[in-house]
């Protein structure tokens, strides 16, 4: 029975539950939550993705730019021990929208600063990351296009136990 339990434990999905409170006229902005996995050809194991998305309206949150929203989330994450990194500057595969957004201005990637796993201690974010994106949505007026709110997406990524073990030997 013990080997079967060990197999179950190693293969059980483990999502990183992270909830960032962003005010809305209905309590919070999060209108959709999705759990999925990401795997890459030639890579062992999977990454467990938890995605939350919603709309933050300017009249409620007070943000005037996507940078304001990213700064709000940045402060919230930093207060809880996360650190902005230079990972996935050309787009994070866990967040498809990051392919058309600008790194550092409309999306950012965070890891735990203590997460330097692997034999040489230099592999950053091996145990997981958080990718955040904020970009404007428009509301039109007769004379000009103005921002009425922002799309906000937060994706947490936690690798499977098998992926962590296989990457530990790559340093």
Residue 33 in domain: yes
Judge whether 88 and 49 are in contact, CB under 8 Å: no
Residue 64 in domain: yes
Residue 9 in domain: no
pLDDT in tens, 48-104: 999 999 999 999 999 999 999 999 999 999 999 999 999 899 999 999 999 999 999
Q: What b-and-e string marks burial along 91-122, b requiring 16 or more CB atoms within 10 Å of the CB?
A: bbebbebbeebebeebbbbbbbeeeebeeeee
pTM: 0.81
Residue 1 in domain: no
Residue 27 in domain: yes
Residue 2 in domain: no
Number of domains in the chain: 1
CA dist., res. 165 & res. 46, Å (int): 12
pLDDT in tens, 110-163: 998 776 555 444 556 667 899 999 999 975 555 456 789 999 999 999 888 776
Residue 5 in domain: no
Residue 6 in domain: no
Q: Note down the domain range covering 24.
A: 14-168
């Amino acid at each position: 029975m013990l080997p079967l339990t060990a197999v179950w434990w190693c293969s059980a999905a483990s999502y990183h539950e992270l909830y960032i409170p962003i005010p809305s006229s209905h309590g919070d902005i999060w209108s959709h939550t999705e759990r999925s996995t990401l795997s890459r050809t030639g890579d062992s194991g999977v990454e467990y993705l938890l995605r939350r998305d919603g709309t933050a309206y300017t009249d409620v949150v007070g943000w005037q730019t996507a940078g304001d929203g990213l700064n709000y989330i940045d402060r919230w994450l930093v207060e809880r021990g996360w650190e902005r990194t230079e990972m996935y500057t050309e787009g994070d595969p866990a967040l498809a929208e990051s392919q058309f957004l600008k790194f550092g201005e409309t999306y950012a990637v965070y890891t735990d600063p203590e997460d330097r796993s692997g034999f040489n201690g230099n592999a950053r974010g091996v145990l997981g990351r958080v990718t955040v994106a904020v970009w404007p949505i428009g509301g039109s007026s007769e004379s000009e296009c103005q921002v009425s709110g922002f799309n906000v997406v937060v994706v947490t990524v936690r690798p499977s136990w098998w992926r962590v073990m296989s990457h530990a030997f790559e340093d």
